[in-house]
Amino acid sequence: MVLIIFGASGDLCKRKLMPALYFLYKEKRVPSVFAILGTARTSHSDRSFRQMMKEELSRSLHQNQLDEAVLSEFIECLYYQPMNPTREDDYFLLQNRLKEMDRELTNESNYLFYLAVPPTLYETIPKLLKKAGLTGEPGIKRIVVEKPFGYDLNSAQELNEIYTSVFREDEIFRIDHFLGKETVLNILALRFANSIFEPIWNRNYVDYIEITAVEKIGVERRAGFFEQTGTLRDMVQNHLMQLLALIAMEPPRQFNAISFRDEVSKIYRSLKPFKEGSIGEQVVRGQYTTAENVKGYREEESVAPDSRTETFVAMKVFVDNWRWSGIPFFLRTGKRMPTKVTEIIVHFKQAPYHLFECLGTHCPVADSLVIRIQPEEGIVLRFALKVPGSGFEVKMTDMDFSYASLGHLPAMEAYARLIEDCFSGDSTLFSRGDTVEDSWSFFTPVLEYWKNHPEAPLYSYPAGTWGPHEADKMMEDLGFSWSNPCKNLTNTDKYCEL
C-alpha cells in the first residue's frame, strides 16, 4: 500500500503523522509492501523531503523511541511529488508518479489518501482524484479526512454527497485522534468488561455527568483557522460528543464497525433538540480577556479586534432515552484555563438516608467516578469511609488507578492506532456519515441562533480562570457545581473548588 499525504510539508504531518508512521514501521505494523508519498505545493525532491523528515523525527522523538538504524530504513520509504491540490493537471502528474512507484514496489494500485490539509480543500481533492482515475479499480482505495467534517449541517451533507460519489462509505475514514486514545477506549472496557458498573449506569443511580476538556494555552498559531471555526465547531461537535456517546451508549452486540457505530448513532439521534428560547439557558459561550501579562483573545495575532468567536463553551445536554431520561450531561471546554485536563465525572446520587452526621470539617457527599483522559490517565473512585478513631466521622477518600501501571503509552499512540486501522480497513473508531450529519443537526440551531442574534451574550473571562460565572450558575440552578481540578494534579486531594 502507498500512503499519499496531501499537505506533507505542514505541521500535522511533521508533528503527528510521521512520528506515528515511524512507530508503526518500527513495530512492523505496516503493510509488507509499503511506501509514503508526500505531496504539497512546497518544492522538494525525494532526497530533500527525506532529509527534512529525518531531522524532524530526530528532534521530536524521545531518545528511548529513536532507533537510528530503523529510522534510516523508514526514511527510505519516503517519496515526494510537488503539486498544487487545486490544479487538475497536477493529479495526472501524481497518477504517473504512483504508476512508477507501483512498478518499483510491486504494489497493486493500493492507495490510502490522507488529507492533512485545510478543510477548504476537502471538496476539491476527492473530485480531482476521481477525474484523474485514481479512485477506481484495480486495487484498494481509501481516504482519510481530518475533522472538522463540515461547518454546519448543510456543508456536512454536501461533503458526504461528494465523498460517497467517489468512495464507498467503508472506504471513507473520518478521523478524530480522540477516539484513538487508549484512555478513551478504556471507557468501553470499564463499562462493558465489569459487571459492577452496568447495573448502576442509568438514571436510577446517576445524578449528573460532567465532561470537561480544557487547555491552558490560547489559540497559539491557529488564530486564522480558529476565527473561522470557534470552540463549538473545534471541540464540542466532535471530541466532547464522542466522549458523551461512549459514556451513554448501549452495549454493542459485537465490537465491530457495524454494531459499535450503530449504538453511537442511536445516542446522537436521542439527543434532546435545543429550542430557540432555551439556547441561552442551556449554552454559555465565553471569550478570554487579558490577565497577568497574558493577551486576551482579541489581542492575538490575526484576530479581529471586535471578534465574537467563542473560546469557551459550557452546555447542558439531555439524552432522551429510557436509560438517561432527565439526567443532565454538562459539557465544558475552553482555552486559557488554569490547567490542561480532559476528564469525565459520573456523579452518583446521594445515599437515600444520612445515617452519619456531618462532623468536623469533613462531610460525606455523593460518590463519583472520575475517568481521567489527560494528563494523568487513570480512574478515581470517590466514596466515603470512616475516619479512624472514636466517633463516626466520615470522610471522602479516593481509590486511585493510573494507566501508567499497565505499561508505557507511546506519545503517538492515538494516531498510530488509527492509521493502522486505516491500513487494515477497520472503520470501527471512525465517524460514519450519518452520525456526522446527526451531530451537526443537533448543533446547527445553536450556530444559527448566534448568527441571527448578535445580541446573544458572549461572556468574558480573565485568562487563567475557569470561564464565565454564568457557566457556574447554569449548574448551581440545578443544585450542582463543576469539579475543578487543582493546578497541581499530584496533590492528594485532586479535586478542589475554585
Which one of the listed residues 44, 177, 239, 347 is annotated catalytic? 239
CB atoms within 10 A of CB 456: 15
Sheet holding 459-462, edge to edge: 394-402, 378-386, 368-374, 341-348, 206-214, 328-334, 312-318, 283-289, 459-462
The DSSP code sequence of 209-278 is EEEEEE-SS--GGGHHHHHHHHHIIIIIIIIIHHHHHHHHPPPPSSSSHHHHHHHHHHHHHHBPPPPGGG
Backbone φ and ψ of 272, nearest 5°: -70, 120
* DSSP code, position 329: E
Of the candidates 91, 113, 107, the residue with the CA atom closest to the CA atom of residue 37: 113
Residue 140, all three cell numbers = 484498494
The crossing angle, in degrees rounded to 10, of helices 124-131 and 88-105 is 60
Q: What span, in angstroms and rounded, lies between the C-alpha atoms of 367 and 369?
A: 7
239 catalytic? Reply is: yes
Backbone φ and ψ of 57, nearest 5°: -65, -35
- Evaluate the CA torsion angle 70, 76, 77, 80 in order and state its sign: positive
Residue 416 Cα to chain centre, angstroms:
15
Residue 271, all three cell numbers = 439527543
Of the candidates 327, 147, 121, 123, the residue with the CA atom closest to the CA atom of residue 232: 147
Report the chain's C-alpha Rg in angstroms. Answer: 24
The crossing angle, in degrees rounded to 10, of helices 18-26 and 413-424 is 70
Q: Which residues are catalytic?
A: 239
